Amino acid sequence: MALLFLSKGDDPVKWSAALRVHLPDLDIRVWPETGNIEDIEAAMVWMHPPGELKRYPKLRLILSLGAGVNHVLDDPDLPPGVPIARMVDPGLTAGMVEYAVAGVLRYHRNFDVYERFQRESRWKKLPTPDTARRGIGVLGLGEIGGACAQALSAFGFAVAGWSRTPKSLEGVTGYFGAEGLKPFLARTDILLCVLPLTAATRGIINRELLAALPKGAFVINIARGGHVVDRDLIASLDSGHIAGALLDVFEPEPLPSDHPYWHHPKVTLTPHIASLTNPETAVLPIVENLKRLKSGAPLLNLVDRVSGY
C-alpha cells in the first residue's frame, strides 16, 4: 500500500519522518512524484487540485490534513464512495483553545481599548468587567468548539453554545437549530465562530445575525472566511453596533493587500495561525486510520459527505 502526500502548505519531509516513526515501511509518495498511480490506496491532502483524487483507481481513504474538510468536499470531481477522515488532534485542538481564550480575554479585559489609550498617552481606568455576566457564544460545538466552550466556562464566563443538533456539555448552555439561533445571539457579548463551512453555514455571519447580537458585541472567527459576509461585518463595525472583530480566516487567503480589513481600526487579524498542525502529534490519528485501513477495522473521524462535516 502506498500513501500519497498532497499538500502545498505542509512539509513533506517532516510528515514523512513523523509517519516513519510509527510505520517504518510505509511507501510514501510526495505529489506530484506519484509513481504508479495504481499503488496509491490512501491520500493525505490539504487543498488538492480539483479532479486530482479521481485519478487514483485504488484510492480507499482520503485523510484531511485540516480539521475542516471543506477544502476536500469543494472538489466537484471527488471520487464517490471513498471515505474521508478529518484531522482530530489534541495538539491542534489545544492551539485553537489558546487562541480563542486569548481573543475573548483581550476583549473582556479591554486590551483593545487600552492599546488605543496608550497610543493617545491617556491614563484612564475603565470599570472592571464582570466575568460571570459576560455572555460568550460559541457557534459550533464540535471537537474544537466544544473544547473552546469548556475552557471558557472554566474561566467563569457565562458560556452558551449553538449547534445544528442538540449537544449537551457541562457548564455550557445549549441552543440548537434555526429556532435556537436568535435567543443564543441575544445573550452573546462575544461571539466565537468554530463552525464547519458547509452549504448551510456559508455566510452565516451576515447582516441579520450581526443585528441580532447586542450592541457592543465582539466577533471572533477561527473557522473559515466563508462564514462571514465581509461587507456586512464592516458595515456593523462602522455603525458601532459591533465593537470589534478578531479574524484568523479569510476568503480568499492570503487576504488581498487592498482589503479593508487590513487597516480597519476595529479589526485585529492574524494569517490563519490559530492552530498549526504539528506532525509529531497529528500523525497519530493518521497512523491509526492507516492501520485500520489495512486490517479492515472501522475507520475513525469520518466525514458525512451530505452534512459536509
Judged by CB under 6 A, the residue of 45, 67, 185, 255 near ligand GLV is 67
What is the strand order of the sheet 61-64 is part of? 27-30, 2-7, 40-46, 61-64, 84-85
CB of 25 to ligand GLV, least distance (A): 28
- 135 contributes a contact to ligand GLV by CB under 6 A: no
- Stretch 181-200 residues interacting with ligand GLV (CB under 6 A): none
Cα 189–chain centre separation:
21
CB of 240 to ligand GLV, least distance (A): 31
Distance CA 142, CA 198 (A): 14
Strand partners of residue 205:
228
Find the helix or strand (DSSP H, E) in which 137 lies: strand 135-139
- Stretch 82-101 residues interacting with ligand GLV (CB under 6 A): 87
Q: Which stretch, 63-71, 76-84, 119-127, 207-215, contacts ligand GLV (CB under 6 A)?
A: 63-71
Residue nearest to ligand GLV (CB): 66
- By C-beta, is 142 or 244 nearer to ligand GLV? 142
SS3 31: coil
CB of 53 to ligand GLV, least distance (A): 18
Judged by CB under 6 A, the residue of 3, 68, 142, 189 near ligand GLV is 68
- By C-beta, is 96 or 210 nearer to ligand GLV? 96
Find all residues with CB under 8 Å of 159, minimum gap 6, and list them.
136, 137, 138, 149, 150, 152, 153, 171, 172, 173
Q: Which stretch, 64-72, 204-212, 231-239, 252-260, contacts ligand GLV (CB under 6 A)?
A: 64-72
Give the residue numbers marked as catalytic: 224, 272
- Nearest 5°: CA angle at 97, between 93 and 99? 120
- By C-beta, is 43 or 181 nearer to ligand GLV? 43
Instruction: Look up residue 205 and give its three cell numbers.
Output: 455571519
Instruction: Report yes or no: 303 and 39 within 8 Å, Cβ to Cβ.
Output: no
- 66 contributes a contact to ligand GLV by CB under 6 A: yes
Q: Which stretch, 37-45, 62-70, 102-110, 120-128, contacts ligand GLV (CB under 6 A)?
A: 62-70
Instruction: Look up residue 151 and give its three cell numbers.
Output: 475552557
CB of 105 to ligand GLV, least distance (A): 22
CB of 125 to ligand GLV, least distance (A): 38
- Nearest 5°: CA angle at 154, between 149 and 160? 35
Per rule CB under 6 A, count of chain residues that contact ligand GLV: 4
Instruction: Report yes or no: 220 and 272 within 8 Å, Cβ to Cβ.
Output: no
Q: Which stretch, 65-73, 101-109, 117-125, 234-242, contacts ligand GLV (CB under 6 A)?
A: 65-73
Burial of 112 (0-12, 13-18, 19+ CB in 10 A): middle
CB of 88 to ligand GLV, least distance (A): 10
Question: Which residues are near ligand GLV by CB under 6 A?
Answer: 66-68, 87
